[in-house]
Structure 1
């Protein structure tokens, strides 16, 4: 069984500009800038609501497919960041310095981008990118 979410040709800027909440919309644009700077990759829409950077092939116990290396989605409940948190291994010590956040199901959830340490967030994205692309 493969994940159904795939990269699309949808316009990332149009998606981010259409985020209803003004703060979450601004956070989405800020995250795009951070991810593009760290990864050197252009943002790509994956499915209707996730912005991904790079891709890799995975083979799990019950599924396989392609997925983005790191990414995010400016969701209503929280800014959701993918690829920086792995709930199957040791917890990255930098999370202690990040600021208010939650984790779960392989995601990092931020209620407010301005409440976390931007330098620490950038290091988390960089480490996750380097781990999968080295």
Structure 2
């Protein structure tokens, strides 16, 4: 059983310095607001993961294949086209909440938002809170 390195590792880069480099003023303001939200909801400081993902908390996973590693419990990435919020639990149980969220798209565990003004922030907080609860149950803190 080998521990293989995740492509996306936690780094010591400054989250705030990274966010301050976002050229679009609205996206930068939204990114700082999401950073504060995930820090408050997770109770953990935001850290850089790879070169462009901001995450809070960590968990250790181990697959039946023997692959194992560490990853963030919640996070987001301010991409050029969208703000991408990582909802680790996925979305299959959240249809009713997603209907109330506002303008968004989803991937497997990615929530794509153009800007915070397009959505109901309290619904986003609820999605993040539910995802963190899912992660706490699936991967209890050591």
Same fold (TM > 0.5) = yes
Question: SS where residue 84 of structure 2 aligns?
Answer: strand
Mean Cα deviation higher: 2-11 or 117-126:
2-11
Contact 2:73 2:88 in 1 (8 A): no
Indicate yes or no: 2:81 matched with 1:115.
no
Distance in 1 (alpha carbons) for counterparts of 2:87 and 2:98: 14
Structure 1 residue 101, shift from structure 2 partner: 0.5
Is 1:126 the counterpart of 2:125? The answer is no
Contact 1:81–1:108 (8 Å) recurs in 2: yes
Identify the residue that residue 39 of structure 2 maps to in structure 1. 36
Q: What is the CA deviation profile of residues 31-80 of structure 1, one whole-angstrom value per residue up to 9, with x for unaligned ones?
A: 01111111111000000100001011123466432110110011111000
Please provide the CA RMSD for this pair.
1.6
2:85 counterpart of 1:78 = no
Please give the TM-score of this superposition, normalised by the length of structure 2. Answer: 0.85
Give the aligned partner of residue 140 of structure 2: none
Q: Number of matched residues?
A: 132
Distance 2:97 2:64 in 1: 29
Structure 2 CA distance for aligned equivalents of residues 102 and 85 of structure 1: 16
For structure 2, the residue ranges without an aligned partner over 5 or more in a row are 138-142
Give the conservation status (yes or no) of the 8 Å contact 1:9–1:44: yes
